[in-house]
Amino acid sequence: MNPKFEKLYQLAYKDLTENLLPWWEKYDVDEEFGGFYGEVGLDNKPIEKANKFITLNARLIWTFASAYRVLGDERWKKLADRAYNYFIEHFYDRKNGGFYTTVDYKGDVVDDHKFIYGNAFALYGLSEYARATGSEEALKYAYEQMQNLDKHVYDPQYKGYYEAATADWRVNPWIHGVNRVPSDVKTMNTHLHMIEAYTCHLRVNKAPYVQNKVREHLYVMLNKIVNNETHHYHYFQARDWTPTSTGITYGHDIEGSWLMLETAEVLGEPEAHRKTRDVCVNIARACYEEAFDPRGGLRTEYDPATGEKSERFGWWEQNEAVVGFLNAWEETRDEKFLDASLKTLEFTLEHFVDHERGGWYTGTDLEGNPNRERGLKVAGPICPYHNGRMSMEIIERYHKHKGE
């Protein structure tokens, strides 16, 4: 075993089992109203009347179910069950199918529109829960969710998916998704999380329909969303995939570099794997050359049209860089990628972990100084999904290498 990979594993395992998961178990469980708090401050105190958002709650299902599957500890199954049961009880739209965007702290619906990014995470979480626990009920909900997405927000002419719809699934460009304006009809961000969700569902449902949709997802990503000249993603696009922005988001690039390859591997089709592998390695190489800080850490964004670069590091971008560079090392055995993965993890655990009170900060300046006065440890998208998945990816890949 490569000693750098050994160190990567030891660091990831320790944070996952001694800090990250126990912190969420201790500070985010809402004993009074059920489920989990919608927000928790930097002082580890809940914002007790904060709303509860689809993305956070769906990601919690995925995280704890995956932790149970990877670590085999019943305490994480207990939290996965809690997250799953709350989500079905309070977020599931029994009239129209799919899932609401927001409920209040008591679990009553306050925003019933269909946020497609969040609904992708619903499919992801439900599929992983079925995978980890064998739940036939969760598998049924997951397959129904996939069918709703394909029936209501899929574009049969140009392929891909729209950003948002009304409660009864009528597509409306004026309802906000992750797009900036209505002319951003499609976004890389939504499609990136669609592909991980559909891929996870394919693991538990090998129906030809699912296989075909996953293949289509992959080829849309490779041929419409990847800019194969620059080896970055187009972030915002029109309905026909014409780019509507020039900005680069390195975190999504490096995240997609391993997620697309995961899709190709689960798909199990050699021709798809060959094409995907080369694209993904090129994306990882571009991120390394343009955005990796030699001290560790991945820059977040850059706009070549204006020359503006982000002046911060974000928590989730670092998590995805660790996995993306590790994945590139596995594919190429180029040691610089493994070095980058380890340096990024060391930087991240030093600067993003709250070593006094536990949990994670979400951002630092370029010197690695977190803002300890403002911000939250739990909020709409702030959850243990990116950092938890990072550690679990390392653990699974480590055991795979040990078995070779």
Q: Divide the 404 residues of the chain into consecutive groups of 10 and give the mean pLDDT of each group.
A: 95 98 98 98 96 98 98 98 98 98 98 98 98 98 98 98 98 92 95 98 98 98 97 97 96 98 97 96 98 92 90 95 98 97 98 97 93 91 97 97 74
CA angle in degrees (0–180, nearest 5) for 16-17-20: 50
Q: Strand 102-103 vs strand 52-53: parallel, antiparallel, or unpaired? A: antiparallel
Looking at residue 294, what is its pLDDT?
87
The pLDDT of residue 82? 98
- In angstroms, the CA 279 to CA 229 distance is 11
Token output for 339: 């070095």
d(CA 230, CA 193): 22
DSSP 298: B
Q: Which has the closest alpha carbon to 122: 152, 159, 105, 97?
A: 97
Helix (H) or strand (E) holding 25: helix 21-27
Q: How many residues does the chain have?
A: 404
The predicted pLDDT at position 404 comes to 56
Which residues sit opposite 171 in a β-bridge?
Answer: 165
Kindly report the backbone phi and psi dihedral angles of residue 241, in degrees, each rounded to the nearest multiple of 5, phi listed first. Answer: 80, 10
Cβ partners under 8 Å of residue 289, min gap 6: none
Residues 246-277, buried b or exposed e (16+ Cβ, 10 A)?
ebbbbbbbbbbbbbbbbbbebbeeeebbebbb
Query: 403: helix, coil or strand?
Result: coil
SS3 378: strand
Helix (H, G, I), strand (E, B) or coil at 262: helix
Residue 223 has phi, psi (to 5 degrees) of: -105, -15
Domain 3-402: give its CATH code. 1.50.10.10
User: Do 159 and 224 contact (CB within 8 A), yes or no?
Assistant: yes
As a whole number of Å, the CA-based R_g of the chain is 20
SS (H, E, C) 251-313: HHHHHHHHHHHHHHHHHCCHHHHHHHHHHHHHHHHHHHHHHECCCCCECCEEECCCCEECCEE
Find out whether 193 and 124 touch, Cβ atoms under 8 Å. yes
CB 226 within 8 A of CB 233: yes
Q: Which of 45, 19, 35 is nearest to 378 (CA)?
A: 45
Contact 376, 327 (CB under 8 A): no
Query: From CA 49, how far away is CA 43, in angstroms rounded?
Result: 16
Report the distance separating Cα 195 and Cα 70, nearest Å.
21
- Report which of 337, 391, 330 is spatially closest to residue 360, judged by C-alpha positions: 391
* Chain centroid, CA 377 distance in Å: 17
Q: Using DSSP, state whether 46 is helix, strand or coil.
A: strand
Collapsing DSSP to helix, strand or coil, 29 comes out as strand
- Name the residue ranges covered by the structural domains of the chain: 3-402
